[in-house]
Structure 1
Amino acid sequence: MNPFPTDAGKKVVLAGLLEYFADRHGADSVHYIHVGQLESPFPTAVTTVARPRPSEAAWQILTRSATGRASLQESLLRSPRTGTEIRRALERIQPDVIVYDTLRMTQYAEETGATQQICYLDDLFSERYATMLRTAARHPEIDIAPLGNFAKFVPSPLRPIAGHRRGWQALLEVERRLVRRSEDHVPHRLDRALLISEPEALALRTRTGLGEDRIMAVPPLLREPGRRPRGPSDRPTYVFLGQLSLPHNDDGLRSFLTHVWPLILAAEPGALLRIIGRSPRDGVSTAAASFGDSITVEGFVPDLGEALGSATAMVNYLRFGSGIKLKVIEALGHGLPVVSTPIGAHGIDSGPASGLLVAEDPQEFADHLLALADRVRNSELSQAARTHFDRVYSRHAVMSRYDLAFADA
Structure 2
Amino acid sequence: MNRRIAVVSAVNPYPTDAGKKVVLAGLLSYFAERYGPEAVHYVHVGADDGSFPPPDWPTAASAVPAPRTHEAVRQVLTRTTTGRSSLQESLLRSPRTGEGIRRALDRVRPDTVVYDTVRMAQYAGQSGAALQICYLDDLFSERYATMLRTARLHPDIDIAPLGNFAGFVPAPLRPIAAHRCGWQSLLTVERHLIRRGEDRVAHDVDRALLISEPEAEILRARTGLGEDRIMSVPPLLAEPPRRTRRPSGRPEYVFLGQLSLPHNDDGLRSFLATVWPLVLATEPRARLRIIGRSPRPGLTEAVAAHADSVVLEGYVPDLAEALATATAMVNHLRFGSGIKLKVIEALGHDLPVVSTGIGAHGIDLSGTSGVLVADDPRDFATHLLELADPAANAVHSQAAAGHFARAYSRDAVLGRYDRAFAGR
Q: Which amino acid aligns with 1:66?
A: T
Aligned to 1:200: 215
Query: What code does the residue aligned with 2:246 have?
Result: G
Contact 1:350/1:358 (8 A) holds in 2:
no
Aligned twin of 2:88:
73
Matching of residues 20-31 of structure 1 within 5 Å: 20-31=30-41
1:283 shift after superposition: 6.1
Provide the rounded CA distance (Å) in 1 between the counterparts of 2:315 and 2:252. Answer: 18
Query: Which runs of 5 or more structure 1 residues have no equivalent in the other structure?
Result: none
Q: Which residue of 2 aligns with 1:145?
A: 160
Secondary structure of 1:332's aligned partner: helix
Report how far residue 331 of structure 1 moved.
Answer: 1.0
Distance 1:64 1:355, change over 3 A: same
For 1:171, the equivalent position in structure 2 comes to 186
SS at match of 1:269: coil
Are 1:13 and 2:28 counterparts?
A: no
Shift of the 6–306 alpha-carbon distance from structure 1 to 2, 3 Å rule, reads closer
- TM-score, normalised to structure 1, is 0.94
Counterpart Cα distance in 2 of 1:333 and 1:391 = 11
Matches within 5 A, 1:9-408: 9-37=19-47, 38-39=51-52, 41=54, 42-110=57-125, 112-282=127-297, 287-288=302-303, 290-291=305-306, 293-350=308-365, 353-408=368-423
Work out the CA distance in 2 between the residues paired with 1:2 and 1:81.
20
Q: Which amino acid aligns with 1:16?
A: G
How many residues of Structure 1 are paired with residues of Structure 2 in the alignment? 409
TM-score scaled by length of structure 2: 0.90
2:76 corresponds to which letter in structure 1? I
In the alignment, structure 2 segments of 5+ residues that lack a partner are: 1-10
SS in 2 for 1:354: coil
Q: Which runs of 4+ in 1 moved over 6 A?
A: none
Helix, strand or coil at the partner of 1:357 = strand
CA RMSD of aligned residues (A): 2.0
Q: Distance in 2 between matches of 1:314 and 1:363?
A: 17
| Cα deviation, residue 293, structure 1 | 4.0
Q: Distance in 1 between matches of 2:294 and 2:82?
A: 40
Q: Look up the equivalent residue of 1:129 and give its one-letter code.
A: Y
Shift, 1:292, TM fit: 6.5
Report SS of the residue matched to 2:412.
Answer: helix
Measure how far apart 1:351 and its partner are: 5.7
How high is the sequence identity, in percent, across the aligned residues?
A: 71
